[in-house]
């Protein structure tokens, strides 16, 4: 580590990139059980922002695991490293002035705290999809819950591994009681104000 010299201090500052993009960069972090609607809502948010002139990047569990984190398994250590790497990638997007939309189960509070510590408390916006387990299981298009209950998947969150519900999420949504459109409307009501660009001299 003694021979590593980050160039962040000499690169174009984030504020200048945000000014060029006319937006404030944030890390929007969706957490919740498998089947709670994370990918659905994150994708819908990403599309809405794009259609309204914002630049965002969607980071999703399956995509990350098939690419940058394809060498990681599902042990507790690997899951923690998975989230740590995602946080570092999200920080790079922040430095580019880009809104990072992240959809990950991230079941442990300690995982999400790592993200907070890496990207910064002010830039981390946590969204808890507080959807009941029974509803999530009924949406089990991948058959993961069934495999977990049959003993074919160990340490599956919600079945034989715990999920720590957030204690300080900025927004909680139960997708069993709201449509996708209603959920996206709630998202936009809360997110648009924090990504709206305001010149420094305002």
23 close to 197: Cβ distance less than 8 angstroms: yes
Residue 106 annotated as catalytic: yes
* CA-based radius of gyration for the chain: 18
- The sheet with strand 56-60 has its strands ordered as 56-60, 99-103, 27-31, 124-129, 171-173
Q: How far is residue 124's CA from residue 169's CA, in Å, rounded to a whole number?
A: 10
- The DSSP code for 80 is H
Burial class of residue 132 (count of CB atoms within 10 Å of its CB; 0-12, 13-18, 19+): middle
Please work out, in degrees rounded to the nearest 5, the angle formed at the alpha carbon of residue 164 by the alpha carbons of 67 and 171.
85
Torsion angles phi and psi, residue 149, rounded to 5: -70, -25
Name the active-site residue from 34, 36, 56, 106: 106
66 close to 82: Cβ distance less than 8 angstroms: no
Query: Annotated active-site positions, please?
Result: 106
């Amino acid at each position: 580590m003694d021979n590593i010299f980050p160039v962040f201090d000499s690169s174009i500052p984030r504020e200048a990139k945000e000014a060029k993009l006319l937006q404030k960069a944030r890390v929007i972090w969706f957490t919740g059980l498998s089947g709670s609607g994370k990918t659905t809502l994150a994708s819908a948010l990403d599309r809405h922002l794009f259609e309204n002139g914002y630049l965002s990047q969607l980071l999703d569990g399956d995509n990350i695991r098939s690419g940058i984190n394809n060498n990681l398994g599902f042990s507790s250590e690997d899951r923690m490293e998975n989230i740590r790497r995602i946080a570092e990638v999200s920080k790079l997007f922040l430095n580019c002035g880009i809104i990072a939309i992240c959809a990950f189960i991230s079941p442990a509070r300690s995982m999400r705290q790592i993200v907070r510590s890496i990207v910064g408390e002010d830039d981390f916006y946590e969204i808890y999809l507080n959807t009941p387990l029974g509803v999530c299981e009924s949406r089990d298009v991948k058959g993961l819950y069934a495999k977990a209950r049959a003993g074919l998947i160990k340490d599956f969150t919600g079945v034989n591994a715990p999920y720590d519900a957030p204690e300080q999420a900025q927004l909680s949504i139960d997708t069993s009681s709201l449509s996708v459109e209603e959920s996206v409307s709630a998202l936009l009501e809360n997110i648009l104000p924090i990504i709206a660009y305001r010149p420094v001299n305002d």
